[in-house]
């Protein structure tokens, strides 16, 4: 077995026992990239192998032993361009590392490369990159999910040991589900957003994408915690998130919302039923419950996130960050630069957001969406008085075919129906491999109350081991 197929924690154990050297892991990673990257297209940029070998030698005494991690290309890195998969930023070279990158480097990680995404993280399929679409390693005719599709595909294709993604409405969890890996969206405020190019500032969170749950917990140990550069990061003690792994979940009450299973296909419902059996075998109790405002989550999310995107992307005007369109008037220069710089999906969301925030419509659209968001939070607050955890599929379907939903934005948006509610409520949620539907990976999602990542990971680990056995 090639070393690049092993999870991070196993590699660290082998290195600590002096059975392998980090350079062997790096060599296997680059061998896989040479074999598969031409058709997977997970990366926008890659570090030279020689540089990583030199850095690994220098960092081998630090906790992460110089092992490489892939980073989504909307997270700032000094040694790589940060393009957000957009023509607007294709030449943008940051002068600082994002806090999460800085923390990983301080722990001894190296950065393998920057992964592809839907432009400015706006998409659910990986097809909205301005450069090229990424393909699903399980079926090259299907999408890897979005927007962190490059990170998910890199880990699933063993072109990365683990990766960082960002999640606004499901952009870590949905591609993790489609590609058959583990992806965690932490509680809003647990991880610094400093250096993450903003899409929707009240929703965006960085999180780990890994081969298994233990790696997820391990990475979270290094990137969680208060950051003075980010006023939305929360001051609270961070646990060792690996500590509860392996503990039983007997007595856990797990809620299954009726809204999340009502319209599933037969094979998908069979998967959910098998998860219930696994949980009961572990001693957990299944509780049927209702999250009645789920049906309003998608419209509320797209109004709120698009409104915030409209404000955040106003800075991309042709004056800063990129080459401007040549034009005599300032107004024409702004207009032409944005027309050429942004792709169709980004333009669509800017227009939705600008309309929702405009005079005469603000209260009817944006204000109403925020009130719906409050109702969704109340649904979860009521649910967590009865249960410890909420179970659902990560997405209603497995990965769909490339091009299948490009011309139907609503169908594309509905693929996030099970991930968006937790994002609106600021809750931690994880997707783990939950079996297959039609021969493709099908993700299992667990949602916990705020800052209950340790308990969430404990339950996810127990289920992961039970499903594998």
Q: Indicate the pLDDT class of residue 469, thresholds 50, 70 and 90.
A: confident
Nearest-angstrom CA–CA distance, 8 and 290: 38
d(CA 396, CA 267): 11
Give pLDDT, residue 332: 81
Average pLDDT over residues 404-422: 92
Residues 397, 184, 284, 236, Cα dihedral to 10°: -150
What's the pLDDT score for residue 1? 66
> How many residues belong to the chain?
469
The closest alpha carbon to 459, from 275, 303, 225, belongs to 275
CA distance 85 to 311: 19
CA atoms within 13 A on the CB side of 98: 30
With CA atoms as reference, report the closest residue to 267 among 397, 445, 145. Answer: 397
Percent of the chain with pLDDT over 70: 99
Q: Please choose, from the candidates 387, 440, 413, 355, the residue with its C-alpha nearest in 3D space to the C-alpha of residue 156.
A: 440
**Model confidence, pTM:** 0.97
pLDDT of residue 323: 66
Q: What's the fold here for domain 3-223?
A: Amidase signature (AS) enzymes (3.90.1300)
The residue among 173, 87, 175 whose CA lies nearest residue 132 is: 87
pLDDT tens per residue, range 185-239: 999 999 999 999 999 999 999 999 999 999 999 999 999 999 999 999 999 888 8
Q: What is the mean pLDDT of the chain?
A: 95
SS3 per-residue string spanning the chain: CCHHHCCHHHHHHHHHCCCCCHHHHHHHHHHHHHHHHHHHCCEEEECCHHHHHHHHHHHCCCCCCCCEEEEECCECCCCCCCCCCCHHHCCCCCCCCCHHHHHHHHCCCEEEEEECCCHHHCCCCCCCCCCCCCCECCECCECCCCCCHHHHHHHHCCCCCCEEEEECCCCCHHHHHHHCCEEEECCCCCECCCCECCCCCCCCEEEEEECCHHHHHHHHHHHECCCCCCCCCCCCCCCCCCCCCCCCCCCCEEEEEHHHCCCCCHHHHHHHHHHHHHHHHCCCEEEEECCCCHHHHHHHHHHHHHHHHHHHHHHCCCCCCCCCCCCCCHHHHHHHHHHHHCCHHHHHHHHHHHHHHCCCCCHHHHHHHHHHHHHHHHHHHHHCCCCCEEEEECCCCCCCECCCCCCCHHHHHHHHCCCHHHHHHCCCEEEEEEEEECCEEEEEEEECCCCCHHHHHHHHHHHHHHHHC
- Catalytic amino acids? 72, 147, 171
User: What pLDDT, on a 0 to 100 scale, did the predictor assign at position 380?
Assistant: 98
Dmax (CA) for the chain in angstroms is 71
**Predicted confidence band of residue 407 (pLDDT cuts 50, 70, 90):** confident
Q: Which two tokens stand for residue 442?
A: 């099908």
Q: Are 25 and 4 in contact (CB under 8 A)?
A: yes
| Angle of the 297-312 helix axis to the 344-357 helix axis, nearest 10 | 100
The reported pLDDT for the residue numbered 110 is 98
331 falls in which pLDDT band (50, 70, 90)? Answer: confident
The rounded percent of the chain whose pLDDT value lies above 90 is 90
Specify whether the CB–CB gap between 45 and 89 falls below 8 A: no
């Amino acid at each position: 077995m090639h070393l690049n197929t092993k999870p991070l924690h196993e590699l660290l154990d082998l290195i600590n026992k002096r059975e392998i050297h980090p350079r062997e892991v790096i060599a296997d990673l680059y061998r896989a990239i040479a074999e598969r990257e031409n058709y997977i297209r997970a990366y926008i940029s890659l570090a030279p192998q020689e540089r990583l070998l030199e850095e690994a030698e220098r960092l081998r005494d630090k906790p992460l032993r110089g092992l490489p991690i892939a980073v989504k290309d909307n997270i700032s890195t000094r040694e790589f361009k940060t393009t957000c998969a957009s023509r607007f930023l294709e030449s943008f070279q940051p002068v600082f590392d994002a806090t999460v990158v800085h923390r990983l480097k301080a722990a001894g990680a190296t950065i393998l490369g920057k992964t592809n995404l839907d432009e400015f993280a706006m998409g659910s399929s990986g097809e909205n990159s301005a450069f090229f679409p990424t393909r699903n390693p399980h079926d090259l005719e299907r999408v890897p999910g979005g927007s962190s599709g490059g990170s998910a595909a890199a880990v699933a294709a063993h072109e990365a040991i683990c990766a960082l993604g960002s999640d606004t409405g499901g952009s870590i969890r949905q591609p993790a589900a489609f590609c058959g890996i583990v992806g965690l969206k932490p509680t809003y405020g647990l991880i610094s957003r400093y250096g993450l190019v903003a899409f929707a500032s009240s929703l965006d969170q960085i999180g780990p994408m890994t081969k298994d749950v233990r790696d997820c917990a391990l990475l979270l140990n290094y990137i969680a915690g208060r950051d003075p550069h980010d006023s939305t990061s929360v001051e609270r003690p961070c646990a060792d998130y690996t500590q509860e792994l392996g503990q039983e979940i007997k007595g856990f009450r797990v809620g299954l919302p009726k809204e999340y299973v009502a319209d599933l296909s037969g094979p998908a419902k069979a998967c959910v039923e098998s998860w219930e059996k696994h949980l009961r075998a572990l001693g957990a109790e299944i509780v049927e419950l209702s999250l009645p405002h789920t049906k309003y989550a998608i419209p509320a999310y797209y109004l709120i996130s698009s409104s915030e995107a409209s404000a955040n992307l106003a800075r991309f005007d042709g004056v800063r960050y990129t080459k401007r369109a040549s034009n005599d008037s300032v107004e024409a220069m702004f207009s032409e630069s944005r027309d050429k710089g942004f792709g169709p999906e980004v333009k669509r969301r800017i227009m939705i957001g600008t309309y929702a925030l405009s005079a005469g419509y603000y209260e009817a659209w944006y204000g109403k969406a925020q009130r719906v968001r409050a109702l969704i939070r109340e649904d979860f607050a009521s649910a967590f008085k009865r249960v410890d955890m909420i179970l659902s599929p990560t997405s209603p379907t497995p990965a769909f075919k490339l091009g299948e939903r490009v011309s139907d934005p609503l169908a594309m948006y509905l693929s996030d129906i099970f991930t968006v509610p937790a994002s609106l409520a600021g809750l931690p949620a994880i997707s783990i491999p939950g079996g297959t539907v039609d021969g493709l990976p099908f993700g299992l999602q667990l949602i916990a109350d705020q800052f209950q990542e340790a308990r969430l990971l404990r339950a996810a680990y127990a289920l992961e081991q039970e499903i594998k056995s």
